[in-house]
């Protein structure tokens, strides 16, 4: 078996000093092989984003070793890290993070510009990438003129434009409605098929059906790690999720509408096999899965 593309060894991240120290990541050990499509789940504040930022070289661990493509990268200098971000990692953010003063095409071409590609070629490459995400008719729009789903697709195009080995998406569907979420996940799924390694954070158990592996985190540690089949919601996804403490903001982050919360609570342990059905039944399966959270919340 080839060496894993991402290997974390006892990676910790601490914030603050002395009594006020917060442990965001607690000696994480994680190996991700090339071509995996990893979903990372867990409650807010469990360290998912910190983990993503460290893997994406935006942040550096306080302790531990990080090997990316068989290279030690935890202690590299900022400029070298920037170059790895540019060439190896593509970032997709929850809030899209397109630059408002640049057109969609320029946003997508930005990583190419930092690579030093000439403007003519840049436009061509960026334009191809936009075509791939289905936005070729929006090239000269500004981000404010796009819908959420379109903006996220543009952001994905930007993440893809340098042909990175790894795509890191931190709650890519967090700000999107279910139709756009599906659009974005299908897009990531397509990218996965071309051989990219993808990590994404989600609160929505539904979306684990796109993943080949689901990692569950709690309080800075990985508490469960399972392989799943493509197209199926991970077995433990629902169960593990709902025994974890949740907060109201998180429900919002998960894109749950207030209406669904208003539905009377049901038995929390009721087995959820429904999501296995089809995407068409998504609203239904959600309405059932969501209320199950309520009792657990009262537990905390």
Partner 1 sequence: MSSIMRGNLRMAVSGVRGAKWRSLLTMLGVIIGIVSVVTVVGIGEGMKRQIGQQINHLGKDLITIRPGKEASVLDKTKANRDIVFGMQSAGALSTKDWQVVSETSQVKLAVPLGAVSGEVTFEDVQLRSGLVLATSSAMPEVLNHDVAYGEFWQPDEEDTNFVVIGHKVAEQLFDEEAPLGKSLTLRGEKFIVRGVLSPFNALPVSPTANFDSVVFVPVKTEARLTENSLQFYVLLAKPQNAGLDQTVAAIRERLTKAHAGEQDFTVLSPKDDIVASSEILDLLTTWIMAVAVISLLIGGVGIMNIMLVSVSERMHEIGVRKAVGATGRQILGQFIFEAMVLGLIGGLIGIIASLVVSGLLYAYTDFDPVISWEAIAIATVVSLMIGIVFGALPAIQAARKDPIEALRHE
How many residues sit in the footprint of partner 1 (CB under 8 A)? 32
Query: Nearest CA to 64 among 5, 10, 7, 6?
Result: 10
Tokens of 183: 């659009």
Site string for partner 1, 64-93 (x = CB under 8 A): --------------xx--xx-xxx---x-x
Shortest distance in whole angstroms from residue 233 CB to partner 1: 30
Shortest distance in whole angstroms from residue 101 CB to partner 1: 6
Going through the chain in order, the beta strands assigned E by DSSP cover: 6-15, 22-32, 37-41, 63-68, 71-72, 89-92, 166-170, 197-201, 213-218, 221-227
- Closest to partner 1 by CB, 113 vs 263, is 113
Q: Are 205 and 288 in contact (CB under 8 A)?
A: no
Shortest distance in whole angstroms from residue 62 CB to partner 1: 13
Position among 14, 58, 76, 260 found at the interface with partner 1 (CB under 8 A): 58
Map the footprint of partner 1 across residues 95-134, applying CB under 8 A. Answer: 97-99, 101-102, 106, 110-111, 113-119, 122
Q: Are 177 and 257 in contact (CB under 8 A)?
A: no
C-alpha dihedral (200, 155, 75, 3), degrees to nearest 10: 50
Position among 150, 152, 162, 208 found at the interface with partner 1 (CB under 8 A): 162
Tokens of 76: 């590299």
* 164 phi and psi angles, rounded to 5 deg: -75, 155
Shortest distance in whole angstroms from residue 201 CB to partner 1: 15
Shortest distance in whole angstroms from residue 247 CB to partner 1: 20
Position among 158, 192, 213, 294 found at the interface with partner 1 (CB under 8 A): 158
Say how far apart CA 69 and CA 31 lie, in whole Å: 11
Name the site residues for partner 1 (rule: CB under 8 A).
53, 56, 58-59, 78-79, 82-83, 85-87, 91, 93, 97-99, 101-102, 106, 110-111, 113-119, 122, 158-159, 162
């Amino acid at each position: 078996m080839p060496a894993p593309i991402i290997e974390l060894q006892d990676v910790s991240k601490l914030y603050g000093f002395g009594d006020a120290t917060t442990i965001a990541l607690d000696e994480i050990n994680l190996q991700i092989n090339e071509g995996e499509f990893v979903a990372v789940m867990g409650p807010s504040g469990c360290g998912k984003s910190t983990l993503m930022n460290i893997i994406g070289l935006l942040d550096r661990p306080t302790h531990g070793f990080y090997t990316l493509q068989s290279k030690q990268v935890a202690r590299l200098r900022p400029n070298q890290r920037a170059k790895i971000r540019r060439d190896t990692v593509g970032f997709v953010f929850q809030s899209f993070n397109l630059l408002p003063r640049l057109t969609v095409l320029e946003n997508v071409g930005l990583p190419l510009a930092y690579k030093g590609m000439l403007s003519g070629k840049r436009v061509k490459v960026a334009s191809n990438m936009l075509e791939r995400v289905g936005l070729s008719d929006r090239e000269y729009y500004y981000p404010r003129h796009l819908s959420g789903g379109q903006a996220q697709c543009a952001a994905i195009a930007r993440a893809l434009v340098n042909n990175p080995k790894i795509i890191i998406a931190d709650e890519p569907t967090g700000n999107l409605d279910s139709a756009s979420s599906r659009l974005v996940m299908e897009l990531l799924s397509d990218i996965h098929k071309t051989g990219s390694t993808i990590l994404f954070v989600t609160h929505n158990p539904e979306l684990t059906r796109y993943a080949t592996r689901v990692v569950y985190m709690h309080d800075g540690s990985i508490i469960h790690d399972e392989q799943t089949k493509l197209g199926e919601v991970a077995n433990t996804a629902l169960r593990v999720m709902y025994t974890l403490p949740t907060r109201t903001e998180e429900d919002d982050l998960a894109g749950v509408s207030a209406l669904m919360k208003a539905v009377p609570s049901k038995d929390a342990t009721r087995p959820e096999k429904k999501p296995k059905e089809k995407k068409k039944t998504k609203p239904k399966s959600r309405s059932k899965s969501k209320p199950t959270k309520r009792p657990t919340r009262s537990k905390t």
